[in-house]
Amino acid sequence: MTAASRPQILVIADAAVLAQTAARRLIDRIRHGNRPAVCLTGGSSPLALYRLLAENSLRSEVPWTRVHWFMGDDRFVPESDPLSNMGAARRAFLDRVSVPPQNIHPIPTTATDPGDAAYRYENELKRFYGADRFDPSRPLFDIVLMGLGSDGHTASLFANSPALEEKQRWVVGVAKAGMEPFVPRVTLTFPALASTREMLFLVDSADKRQIVARVFAGEDLPAHRAYAQGDLIWLVVRAAAPEQ
């Protein structure tokens, strides 16, 4: 983590409150912009948040016609596959609300291979951003959601992968996942994920306790390397939080 992104850890009572807290932060980040951009994450940790966004209590607070939805990483499978991160996000909320189809930006897993998908998604991000280099004063995303794997990976950035060192590319293909499901992946790189006003890690279960402790002890794990131009926030349920 760089000095620009000293993490703030917010310890949250339980998974339900964590989803509500994340929803509130997300809505606060996107409510006013002309064309706010959210980078979603995969896995199970964000699902309660996703469902909340489509519920009556919050749905009216999301400016659905203006927000653009991206994905930080995906498994190289069709969206109809249960392993697809974008498929899961659609089922949890995007299909339940009225979103202009052009506001949803899936990683194109219909490409020839993960490298080709990465190339195409990088171009799509650059088109949306309107430049092919990041300007730190003008982040690509308003909020980037992140999960924490039990091995310390985040997005599809796994330990010992060359993707961890990537400084030029915004998106790369990952031929071999470091953890199940062992399907090839496509992932945004650290510099692309960092181009955000807020990066929000979601740690919603007690079984992450050990890995959270290792990340915050400073071990060189992928999640420890994540940084943000804006705020770097970890929402951690009390049962997984490091000793105070």
Residues near ligand 6PG (CB under 6 A) are 41-45, 73, 75, 85, 147-149, 153-156
Peptide bond into 181 cis (omega under 30): yes
Distance CA 34, CA 26 (A): 15
Tokens representing residue 82 in the block: 């249960």
What is the closest distance, in whole angstroms, from the C-beta atom of residue 74 to ligand 6PG in the complex? 7
Segments of the chain assigned E as strands: 8-12, 37-40, 68-71, 73-75, 143-146, 171-174, 185-188, 198-203, 231-237
Minimal CB distance to ligand 6PG: which residue? 147
What is the closest distance, in whole angstroms, from the C-beta atom of residue 94 to ligand 6PG in the complex? 16
What is the closest distance, in whole angstroms, from the C-beta atom of residue 76 to ligand 6PG in the complex? 11
Residue by residue, DSSP assigns 172-230 as: EEESS-SSSS-S-EEEE-HHHHHSBSEEEEEE--GGGHHHHHHHHTT---HHHH---SS
CA nearest neighbour of 164 among 224, 99, 104, 212: 224
Residue closer to ligand 6PG by CB (options 57, 165) is: 165
Tokens representing residue 239 in the block: 């049962």
What is the closest distance, in whole angstroms, from the C-beta atom of residue 154 to ligand 6PG in the complex? 5
Read off φ and ψ for residue 227, nearest 5 degrees: -145, 170
Residue closer to ligand 6PG by CB (options 102, 165) is: 165
What is the closest distance, in whole angstroms, from the C-beta atom of residue 179 to ligand 6PG in the complex? 7
Looking at the chain, how many residues does it have? 244
Residue closer to ligand 6PG by CB (options 63, 143) is: 143
Residue closer to ligand 6PG by CB (options 154, 161) is: 154
What is the closest distance, in whole angstroms, from the C-beta atom of residue 69 to ligand 6PG in the complex? 15
Residue closer to ligand 6PG by CB (options 56, 165) is: 165
Residue closer to ligand 6PG by CB (options 66, 159) is: 159
